A = this chain, B = another copy of it.
Amino acid sequence: MSLFTLQKSASSCQARRGELQLPRATVQTPAFMPVGTQGTVKAMTFDEVWELGYRLILGNTYHLYLRPGSERVARFGGLPKFIGWDGAMLTDSGGYQVFSLKDLRKITEEGVTFRSTLDGSKHLFSPERVMEIEHELGADIIMAFDECPPYPATWQYTKDSLDRTLRWEERCLARHNALGGDSTGHLLFGIVQGGSYDDLRAQSALAVSAMDFPGIAIGGVSVGEPVEEMRRITALTTPLLPAHKPRYLMGVGTPSDLLDGIYYGIDMFDCVLPTRMARNGALYTSQGRINISNARWTDEAGPIDPECDCKVCRLHSAAYLRHLHQSKEILYSRLATYHNLAYYAKVMEGARAAIEQDTFPEYRRACYATWGLALPPDA
């Protein structure tokens, strides 16, 4: 059984329709992964995440390592079992979080030493240690430990960082294999870096493609660069990756970002946007993003999205959602998150159907139009 089955490729863009056969679940691609940072998709139960059609969610190694601790999670049989999720999981490497710590961390060839944001205690994340932690967390897909350079960064900084990341990825592979490798049910994906430099991106894509990873991620995007930059990086990277391996664009994005990524050949995405933005009052709808705190919703008896058939839109008025938001009620976060994840699921379902019918560019154009956005020129 192969991990990834490529079922259909679009004729006039790079979009692909496939299936990821993970140890715990089969996932239809292109797929969006909701983020469960601390062992919960914020405000949701796993029943709800499942009923929305999601079969693969992300957990954050940095947070879970610090609390409740990866050893404890291992004693409970791994993260999916600890949290009660019947689907598949992916853990990031914690790299993005520890590099974000700025004053609290120090990078060496060995790895990154950092101080916990919870209690100030000192820790080392090295490629080897992160592999051990991710094996303890026990997700279906585990990510290699990389450096995610900031934006902007100089060519030289990015080059040095990339070269170290490539060495770290080799060390990840070695430790992962020493721990039993992919046959443990924890599949190690590599990560392409290289900042916003075409030559470094290409070098990274070719180097990571040559390593023995069953799937490849594009990292170092969605770190503050203009969206055109993200599209350009994606468009230049995917053609350099092996067609038979799944491609994962990390930390992306808005609904339009997802369609752009798919257009350029991406199979997997994760992002906190639908859940975080929901809690902050922003709802993704067939009419574009709306802000529920806007007074225009005060007396709106219809749902937040008249074209949405999710449970929230079927049962509740926009006025009630706005009331809950203004009253800072937990139910607001629940309903808003549920709707946003339902909308993301719908956009992705539409994308998969469109690829099957080889009408993805038309689908993308139509979505952009209903969102009131201008379709960007090809990257």
Binding site for B on A (CB under 8 A): 38-40, 42-45, 63, 67-68, 72, 75-76, 82-84, 298-299, 301, 315-317, 319-320, 323-324, 326-327, 329-331, 333-335
Q: A67-B323, A72-B299, A319-B76 are in contact. Are A329 and B84 (CB under 8 A)?
A: no
Give bound CA distance, A292 to B217, whole Å: 39
Residue contact A324 to B42, C-beta cutoff 8 Å: no
Pick from B84, B320, B330, B335: contact of A315, CB under 8 Å:
B84
Q: Which residue of B lies closest to A38 (CB)?
A: B327
Evaluate contact between B84 and A316: CB separation under 8 angstroms: yes
Query: Across chains A and B, which 3 residue pairs bring their CB atoms closest together, nearest first?
Result: A40-B331, A43-B330, A38-B327
A203 to B298, CA, bound (A): 46
Q: Which single member of B39, B316, B334, B335 contacts A324 (CB below 8 Å)? A: B39
Central interface residue in A315, A319, A323, by most chain B CB within 10 Å: A323
CB neighbours (8 Å) of A67 from chain B are: 323, 326-327
Q: In the bound complex, do residue B320 and residue A42 qualify as a contact, i.e. CB atoms below 8 Å apart?
A: no
In the complex, what residue of chain B is closest to A332 when comparing beta carbons? B40
Q: Would you mind naming 11 contact pairs between A and B with Cβ atoms under 8 Å apart?
A: A38-B324, A39-B323, A39-B324, A42-B331, A43-B331, A45-B331, A68-B319, A72-B299, A72-B319, A76-B301, A84-B316
Contacting residues, chain B, for A316 (C-beta < 8 A): 84
| Chain B residues in 8 Å Cβ range of A43 | 330-331, 334
Q: Are B333 and A330 in contact (CB under 8 A)?
A: yes
Distance in angstroms from A220 CB to nearest chain B CB is: 28
* B334 and A45 within 8 A (CB): yes
Least Cβ distance of A275 to chain B in Å?
10
A334 close to B327 (CB less than 8 A): no
- B68–A323 touching, CB < 8 Å: yes
Question: Which residue of chain B has the shortest Cβ distance to A338 in the bound complex?
Answer: B45
Task: Compute how far the CA of A72 lies from the CA of B83 in the bound complex, rounded to whole angstroms.
Answer: 41
**For residue A38, which residues in chain B have a CB less than 8 angstroms away from its CB?**
323-324, 327, 329
Would A317 and B44 be within 8 Å (CB), given that A39-B324, A330-B334 are in contact?
no
CB-based contact A39/B330 at 8 Å = no
Cα distance A319–B82 when bound, in Å? 8
Given contacts A67-B323, A67-B327, 9 further A-B contacts (CB under 8 A): A39-B324, A43-B331, A68-B319, A68-B323, A68-B326, A72-B298, A76-B301, A84-B316, A330-B330
A58 to chain B minimum Cβ distance, whole angstroms, is 15
Whether B299 contacts A75 by the Cβ 8 Å rule is yes
A97 to B: closest C-beta gap in Å: 15
